[in-house]
Structure formats: structure tokens, C-alpha cells
Amino acid sequence: MSEGHMFDVHFDAVGVAVGRMRNEVTLTASTPFQSVNVLATDEGPFQGGEGTAPTPLEFFLTGLVGCLMTQIRVFARKMRVDVTDLKVHCRAEWAARKGELGPYEGFPKGFTVDVELASGAPAEDVARLIEASKRACFVEQTLAVANTVTHRLRINEGDWTDA
């Protein structure tokens, strides 16, 4: 247990492919609260989907923007900095280049996040609130580091192998 440890967050997401490109994802939170939700993604004609739901990238960006906004409001209360009229604008860019193994590979090109709000607090207090919120936003902190994503693969109900 690291020094200063306060709480853990643990989610399981199980996606099942249905239709042409639609995925139905069941999300189970086990700590620090318990919940189960289902969200669906799809693709438009560009990727051969039927447009029954937004695309995965839209869910990803909603997670990024929503996480920071939530953190700002939670910390505004805890740090006693009043905040109203909060609006966040994120621009996200990726590029696809010719791939070695497959048709193409993906690369993030950049993320900019503009925060607008109204407050009666001194500007330096608001700036400290935003910085603290960035550091606490799980999605932003995930983007800020090179994460190892571990994969396993199971074909035709055989054994699990590392992938």
C-alpha cells in the first residue's frame, strides 16, 4: 500500500459484439461504489456500421471531458472555491499511418482542453482548483503516462494465451 493511499477504483467492462459493428458493454463498478450499467457503441457507414449508437471515440472523449468537469465541481466544494457556468471544450486529434501488420496503425496527435467558468474567488484560487482537479482526474492522469495494457486471447473456447 503506497504512502498516502486514500481509496481504490475498480471497474470491469465486458463488451459483446452484436449486429455489424455494434458493441454492448456491461460496466460493473466494484469499488469504491457498486453499480452496473450498459452502454452501446456503433459505427457509421465509414466503418461499415449502422449508426445505432455513438462511436467508441465519442465515449472516450465524453469520459475525458466528464471526468475533469466532475472533478472540478467536487473539488470546488471541498476547496471552497465557488464555480458556476462551467464549460469545457476538448479538441482531440489522431492520425492513421500505413501499418506493418495490418492496414494501418493509430497515433494520438494532441489533446487541448479549454475550461471556462464564472467565480467570485481570486484568480489564483481558481487556477489552483483547476490544477488540483487535473491531478485528480483519473482519465487525464491515465493519458499523462505510458500505460501497459496486458492482453490475453482465447480462441474457440481453448486455453488463454498472452497476446
**Touching its own copies, residues 47-106 (CB under 8 A):** 47-49, 54-67, 69-70, 73-75, 77-79, 85-99, 101-106
| CA gap 76, 70 in Å, rounded | 10
CB 42 within 8 A of CB 55: yes
Number of residues that bind its own copies (CB under 8 A): 127
- Under rule CB under 8 A, residue 139 binds its own copies: yes
- Under rule CB under 8 A, residue 147 binds its own copies: yes
Give Rg (Cα) of the chain.
19
Compute the least distance from the CB of residue 14 to its own copies, in Å.
Answer: 5
**Touching its own copies, residues 11-50 (CB under 8 A):** 11-17, 20-21, 23, 25, 27, 29, 32-33, 35, 37, 39, 41, 43-49
| CA gap 128, 83 in Å, rounded | 13
